[in-house]
A and B are shown apart, each in its own frame.
Chain A
Amino acid sequence: MIGWLLDALPLSYPDAVVVVGTAVVGFVAGALGPLAVLRQRSMFGDAMSHGTLAGVAVAFLVTGAKVPEVLLLGAAVSAALAAFAMIALERTGRLRPDAAIGVVLSVSLTLGIVLLTHIGASGNSQQAGLNGYLLGQAAGLVERDIVLALALGAVALTVVLVGFRLLRSATFDPGFTSVAGVPSWAVDAVATGLLALAVVLGVRTVGAILMVALLVAPVVAARQLTKRLSTLVPLSGALGAACGAVGGVVSGRAELPAGPVIVLLATVVAVLSVTFAPRRGIVAKARRRRARVAG
């Protein structure tokens, strides 16, 4: 289905698969990232990606096989559960968001580790592949993964497009309660589900620990360049895709793991944008301040 694209790239077939795969994941994460960053829920993404481990382990225990789609389904379910646990803890009013995230993150990560240890102890030789979810294994991508990522990404982006106005009011207006009769919890649930999707797609490639950077860095970079959400979403997606593709090529050439390379690239882009962006950048602000003092 996407064979023509893979052939068209001036890369060997396995390299082309990795590059296209990381670019697609980068785009989806970048485009959905605003749902986390603009709602001050960046670290939500971190806890959710740590939460995927338990789901992967349970899915493996239940089916006894390493079918990527099944494992990803497990990851999605447990990431969503982690997210809802955090929202529920916050809503009780007993904990601040950061403490709620910290508690869920530690408990879900611990649960994942216990389950993985259990799988390891039961002598199942296939468990080595499961550890790849912690640190990511872009090199293990196959064409089928790309098709899956494209399909899920398309679904997610369609949801974003259809519900754009709702999401915009939910992201930019903290006091948002309901618009056009749609209750805030429903918007919250959809936004959280979309984030879970992005996290799950990324976990295979960059790993549970680094996934949060893929959600946050492109958004931070893009946010410096535009105020409009309708520009921010595609721009941040494009930045994510670019970092993914370039990182994929570089890591292939230099024989380095793809996840960390992509993450470092995205971080560099974000820091450059924070520093040098035309209007909101630190340098531009400092120059304006100096101009005002002088004048």
Chain B
Amino acid sequence: MSPDDVMIVVISGLLATSCALLGSFLVLRRQALLPDAVSHAVLPGIVLIFLLTGERASLATVLGATAFGVACVAGFDWLRRTGVVASDAALALVFPALFSLGILLISRFASGAHIDLDSAIFGDVTFAPLRTIELAGLDVPRSLVITGAATLGTVLLVVLLWRPLKASTFDPDFAELGGLRGKLVSQVLLVAVAGLAVVAFDSVGAILVITFFVVPAATARLLVRRVGTMLVAAVAVGWVSAFGGQRAAVTFDTSIPGTIGLTAGALFLLALLFAPRKGLLTKRLAARPQPRPR
């Protein structure tokens, strides 16, 4: 593997790590589709910041885009709470509107501006090693710095909020009553998802964002008994997909994000069929006896 190959695997793996950590909680909270929505909804934020500052990859971009991601989540939450729109319909209403706004902004004001929709959607992790910044005298890929920081932040967040996240996902009323601030922590989680989706969007493109948030977590859920192990397994699935997908892309000379996504999909299928307890075929081979009360 060339240094660039390694760099691509590392960047994808780091991103998979943070997405898998937050994605696991989203899957357990039945909010697995939020990252999909958020990663579309951030587009107007990216365009607006570009129109204001002329930059398309600055800290301001991340903040502006995150603001729109949060707006998407807030709008979704408001519609859902009114009780007149079901939660899935609320999501399907909010994010296309924001994405539409982004496209209209581009075609009206920024058509010559190289906000390349294709690269945003198809992902450009392929070129990530080439865009470097200087850090302590070394040329370091910008994406590595950003995803590294994002991953560190996510790990800290999950460690710090471990108990309230776990308790409020499992039993929201208990978490609220027990003084664990479950509702507050849920909102922090959603803001973190929005921010991470933006960072990931910029580094690897939208399709890998959606895949990394959902597929490793869904795969891990099939394999484990404990939420702690689930996070570890999801991260592992993410890294295996990053490595396997990168190797496959080189072998078959095709899109790197695409093959990483397909590798994750293949791992999910394997788990669905052969997971120790929940596999569809495993179960057919040996029916587990249920534990009986004493």
Task: Tell whether A pairs with B.
Answer: yes
Please list the residues of chain A having a beta carbon within 8 angstroms of any beta carbon in chain B. Answer: 37, 40-43, 45-46, 89, 92, 94-96, 98-99, 101-103, 105-107, 109-111, 113-114, 117-118, 121, 131, 134-135, 209-210, 212-213, 215-217, 219-220, 223-224, 256-257, 259-261, 263-264, 267, 270-271, 274, 280-282
Please list the residues of chain B having a beta carbon within 8 angstroms of any beta carbon in chain A. Answer: 27, 30-33, 36, 40, 79, 82, 84-86, 88-89, 91-93, 96-97, 99-101, 103-104, 107-108, 117-118, 121-122, 207, 210-211, 213-215, 217-218, 221-222, 253-255, 257-259, 261-262, 264-265, 268, 272, 278, 280
Instruction: Select one of A103, A256, A264, A274 contacting B215, CB under 8 A.
Output: A103
Task: With both chains docked as a complex, state the minimum distance between the C-beta of A219 and any C-beta of chain B, in angstroms.
Answer: 8
A220 CA to B91 CA in the complex, in Å?
12
Task: With both chains docked as a complex, state the minimum distance between the C-beta of A184 and any C-beta of chain B, in angstroms.
Answer: 20
Chain A residues contacting B107 (CB-CB under 8 Å) are 256-257
Chain B residues contacting A224 (CB-CB under 8 Å) are 84
A45 CA to B107 CA in the complex, in Å?
26
Chain B residues contacting A219 (CB-CB under 8 Å) are 89
Chain B residues contacting A113 (CB-CB under 8 Å) are 121-122, 207, 255, 257-258, 261
A106-B207, A274-B82 in contact; A117/B255 too (CB < 8 A)?
Answer: yes
Chain B residues contacting A281 (CB-CB under 8 Å) are 84
If A37-B89, A113-B261, A259-B100 are given as contacts, then 18 extra A-B residue pairs at C-beta distance below 8 Å, sorted by A number, are A42-B88, A46-B36, A89-B272, A102-B36, A106-B261, A107-B262, A107-B265, A110-B211, A110-B262, A111-B258, A113-B122, A135-B103, A213-B97, A216-B89, A220-B89, A260-B103, A267-B100, A274-B82
Task: With both chains docked as a complex, state the minimum distance between the C-beta of A213 and any C-beta of chain B, in angstroms.
Answer: 4
Q: Is B117 within 8 A of A43, CB to CB? A: no
Task: With both chains docked as a complex, state the minimum distance between the C-beta of A32 and any C-beta of chain B, in angstroms.
Answer: 14
The 29 listed contacts between A and B (C-beta, < 8 Å) are A42-B92, A43-B91, A46-B36, A95-B218, A98-B88, A99-B30, A102-B33, A103-B215, A105-B36, A106-B36, A106-B264, A107-B268, A110-B257, A113-B121, A113-B122, A113-B258, A113-B261, A210-B96, A210-B100, A213-B92, A215-B92, A216-B92, A219-B89, A220-B93, A256-B104, A257-B104, A263-B100, A267-B93, A267-B97
Main secondary structure on chain A at its contact with chain B?
helix
Closest to B27 in A: A99
A220 CA to B88 CA in the complex, in Å?
11
Chain B residues contacting A42 (CB-CB under 8 Å) are 86, 88-89, 91-92
Closest to B87 in A: A40
Q: Is A106 within 8 A of B104, CB to CB? A: no
A45-B92, A113-B258, A210-B96 in contact; A94/B214 too (CB < 8 A)?
Answer: no
Q: Is A210 within 8 A of B93, CB to CB? A: no
Q: Is B27 within 8 A of A263, CB to CB? A: no
Instruction: Select one of A101, A121, A135, A217 contacting B32, CB under 8 A.
Output: A101
